[in-house]
């Protein structure tokens, strides 16, 4: 884990713990819990994004683009269908 998620997780835990105390819940109730929640969410997102492998993503995108731009074979229309369409 990098330093930014650790700092955000520490801020989250400390602000939540401070909001559970008497003065923290009376005076800072409106700000400590949202700060704790937001810092936890941002820490989680940073942690998840840091685990992504950009080389694997680039390889997946390259394969997807190759599959999209490949020419597709034409299907043969059976003769009975042509006769019905002409009639």
pLDDT digits (tens, 9 = 90+) for 16-51: 888 777 776 666 557 888 888 888 899 888 888 887
Q: Which residues of 29-47 are buried (b: 16+ CB within 10 A; e: fewer)?
A: eeebbebbeebbebbeebb
Q: pTM of this prediction?
A: 0.55
| Helix ranges, 1-87 (H) | 3-20, 22-26, 29-51, 54-68, 79-86
pLDDT band at 52 (very low <50, low <70, confident <90, very high): confident
* Three-class SS state of 72: coil
Percent pLDDT > 70 in the chain is 76
- pLDDT given for residue 50 in this prediction: 80
In this structure, what token pair is assigned to residue 76?
Answer: 């043969």
Average pLDDT over all residues of the chain: 78
């Amino acid at each position: 884990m990098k330093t930014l998620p650790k700092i955000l997780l520490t801020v989250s835990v400390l602000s939540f713990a401070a909001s559970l105390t008497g003065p923290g819940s009376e005076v800072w109730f409106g700000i400590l819990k949202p700060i704790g929640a937001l810092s936890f969410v941002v820490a989680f997102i940073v942690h998840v994004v840091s685990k992504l492998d950009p080389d694997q993503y680039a390889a997946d995108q390259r394969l997807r683009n190759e599959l999209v731009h490949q020419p597709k074979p034409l299907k043969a229309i059976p003769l009975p269908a042509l006769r019905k369409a002409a009639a």
